[in-house]
Amino acid sequence: IINAEKSEFNEDQAACGKLCVRRCEFGAEEDQEWVTLCPEEFLTGHYWALFDGHGGPAAAILAANTLHSCLRRQLEAIVEGLVATQPPMHLSGHCVCPSDPQFVEEKGIRTEDLVIGALESAFQECDEVIGRELEASGQVGGCTALVAVSLQGKLYVANAGDSRAILVQRDEVRPLSSEFTPETERQRIQQLAFVYPELLAGEFTRLEFPRRLKGDDLGQKVLFRDHHMSGWSYKCVEKSDLKYPLIHGQGRQARLLGTLAVSRGLGDHQLRVLDTNIQLKPFLLSVPQVTVLDMDQLELQEEDVVVMATDGLWDVLSNEQVARIVRSFLPGNREDPHRFSELAQMLIHSTQGKDDSLTAEGQVSYDDISVFVIPLNSQGQKNSGH
């Protein structure tokens, strides 16, 4: 983690460790350390998480200390379903209807769907915890969250925000996450404003225009789009269209209600538009998008890795540039036991102007940056956590 000194405390936080999933009745889960070495009879995996804070470090610190516990609780509540060949209709295994297994099969419900559901519920639970804790302490702030979980031969990547994870192999670079910004979720956000116009308090227009409209545009037909449109059309400009747009700017400059650059994450329960009582939380989602990588189906090589990083890295380096750095570094350092952490440091240094040959047109990042480099060859077996 590199602190760009935007604030006194580092707003980027990270967590990683061994994940131990056991039946809840085995003991009081609060009494056990989550990264402890787990007995082999327990289902084990690995956990990595990056949290990019805004409005202060409080939410990111809470998330780094909380989300893994939320996830473990969610997984332990369904562990019987995780170890079954097919998730049972009833967690107890009791079959009320003889056709229950057929109904589950017809729905296409797989074990990985249970893990996805656990991740989604864990993010939601963590968001609620952060909301309560920040309110009680009088603090504010929020954070994005990017999580990778290796479990039963699969890698689950859950993202809420604008951090990114990619798979780098010898001949392929594959995105494992999508960024969630006001631009990428424009239609969802506009739909909320359409259904609940009171959320805008009469201060904003939900419509999108190519630029902020001016008085001279009144009565003219201009390009616009609404919640139901992926394309564009024309409308006659009315006075209400001159209000500040719900989503303004483009690319990295796009902002929700002129305030926030991301549309998903944790926290921000107290966040309001400057000098108003307009809340941003109703427009934000804490639910992540989850991508599943079946490592047992990949022909993994020693240099195959997943690179996870907060947005400061991706502001400067493209997926292909990161892959080029990975491929140039790892083959020549196979005997170095610290090569993956050194590679993470190299990626960060390449955004700081310390090697102009690696940066995109000499760009330099002034953001906090956190990076994980995860070697997949050691994760590709179902028992890798033991």
Continuous segment of H or E residues that includes residue 313: helix 311-314
**Of the given ranges (1-10, 208-217, 268-277, 318-327), which has the lowest mean pLDDT?**
1-10
Mean of all residue pLDDT scores within the chain: 89
> What value does the mean pLDDT take over residues 32-55?
74
Query: Sorting pLDDT into bands at 50, 70 and 90, what band is 27?
Result: very low
Domains and CATH numbers, the chain: 12-180+286-375 (3.60.40.10), 186-261 (no CATH)
pLDDT of residue 87: 87
Global confidence as pTM? 0.89
Query: Sorting pLDDT into bands at 50, 70 and 90, what band is 381?
Result: very low
Q: How many CB atoms lie within 10 A of CB 149?
A: 23
> What value does the mean pLDDT take over residues 65-85?
93
**Of the given ranges (95-104, 254-263, 349-358), which has the lowest mean pLDDT?**
349-358
Residue 99 predicted with pLDDT over 70: yes
Tokens of 33: 């350390």
pLDDT of residue 384: 34
> What value does the mean pLDDT take over residues 272-291?
98
Residue 267 predicted with pLDDT over 50: yes
CA angle 23, 31, 145 (to 5 degrees): 75
- What's the CA gap between 267 and 386, in Å, rounded? 34
With contact defined as beta carbons under 8 Å apart, do 295 and 376 qualify?
A: yes
Could you tell me which residue, 86 or 164, shows the higher pLDDT? Answer: 164
With contact defined as beta carbons under 8 Å apart, do 161 and 180 qualify?
A: yes
Q: Which one-letter amino acid corresponds to residue 385?
A: G
pLDDT of residue 185: 98
> What value does the mean pLDDT take over residues 64-91?
92
Query: Sorting pLDDT into bands at 50, 70 and 90, what band is 377?
Result: confident
Residue 368 predicted with pLDDT over 60: yes
Residue 52 predicted with pLDDT over 70: yes
The answer for residues whose C-beta is within 8 angstroms of residue 185's C-beta and 6 or more apart is 263, 264, 285
> What value does the mean pLDDT take over residues 23-29?
52
Residue 31 predicted with pLDDT over 90: no
> What value does the mean pLDDT take over residues 174-182?
98
> What value does the mean pLDDT take over residues 354-369?
66
Query: Sorting pLDDT into bands at 50, 70 and 90, what band is 192?
Result: very high
- What's the CA gap between 255 and 234, in Å, rounded? 23
Q: In b/e form, how buried is each residue of 275-289, taking b as 16+ CB within 10 angstroms?
A: eeebbbeebbbbebb
Query: Sorting pLDDT into bands at 50, 70 and 90, what band is 26?
Result: very low
Question: E strands, the chain, where?
Answer: 12-21, 43-54, 142-151, 154-160, 164-168, 173-175, 204-205, 221-224, 233-236, 244-245, 247-248, 255-256, 266-267, 289-294, 305-309, 371-375
The DSSP result for 218-285, as a single string, is TTSEEEEB-TT-SS-EEEE--GGGGSEESEES-GGG-EETTTBS-SB-EE-TT-B-TTS--BSGGG-B
pLDDT of residue 29: 47
Residue 354 predicted with pLDDT over 90: no
Residue 382 predicted with pLDDT over 80: no
Closest C-alpha to 252, from 311, 166, 204: 311
Tens-place pLDDT, residues 113-155: 999 999 999 999 999 999 999 999 999 999 999 999 999 999 9
Residue 160 predicted with pLDDT over 60: yes
Query: Sorting pLDDT into bands at 50, 70 and 90, what band is 299?
Result: confident
